[in-house]
Amino acid sequence: MNDVDTKSRTKVKPKIERPRLHKVILFNDDFTPREFVVMVLKAEFGMNADQAQQVMITAHRRGACVVAVFTKDVAETKATRATDAGRKMGFPLLFGTEPEE
Ligand code: TYC
């Protein structure tokens, strides 16, 4: 009875997974002024003028551009705030989010 060893000798090593990061994506449209897009990128994502210009022009040329990656909550909050900044001015500016692979 008591000589049956049921104690596992296998070490259990809990795997701690990092939270998946989410991309904030800027989509092009035909109406939002370029300078306004740059202003929003600087204000909401802390970009400098060169970075903001680069991201704006990439979205303008290719249709979309990754702005930055954050945890899910932060990405969604920033995308919503940035989209709302455009809406407030009557522009169809759109930021979305997407999980990283
Ligand atoms: N395409 C817009 C224009 O020509 C500028 C623009 C760039 C708008 C990037 C959105 O994500 C965007 N006025």
Domain boundaries, the chain: 21-99
Name the H helices within the chain.
34-45, 49-62, 72-88
- ipTM of model over 0.90: yes
Distances (CA, A) of 97 to 12, 14, 36, 75, 77: 36, 30, 20, 6, 10
Phi and psi at residue 76, to the nearest 5°: -65, -40
Residue 90 CA, ligand 1 centroid: distance in Å: 14
Class of domain 21-99: alpha beta
Ligand 1, atom 10, residue with closest C-alpha: 28
Contact predicate 97/25, CB 8 Å: yes
- Looking at the predicted structure, is the pLDDT value of residue 33 above 80? yes
Sign of the dihedral through C-alpha 31, 80, 95, 35: positive
How do residues 10-20 score in pLDDT, each as one tens digit? 888 888 988 89
The CA 19 to ligand 1 mean position distance, Å, reads 32
Residue 1's pLDDT band, with cuts at 50, 70 and 90, is very low
pLDDT in tens, 48-95: 999 999 999 999 999 999 999 999 999 999 999 999 999 999 999 999
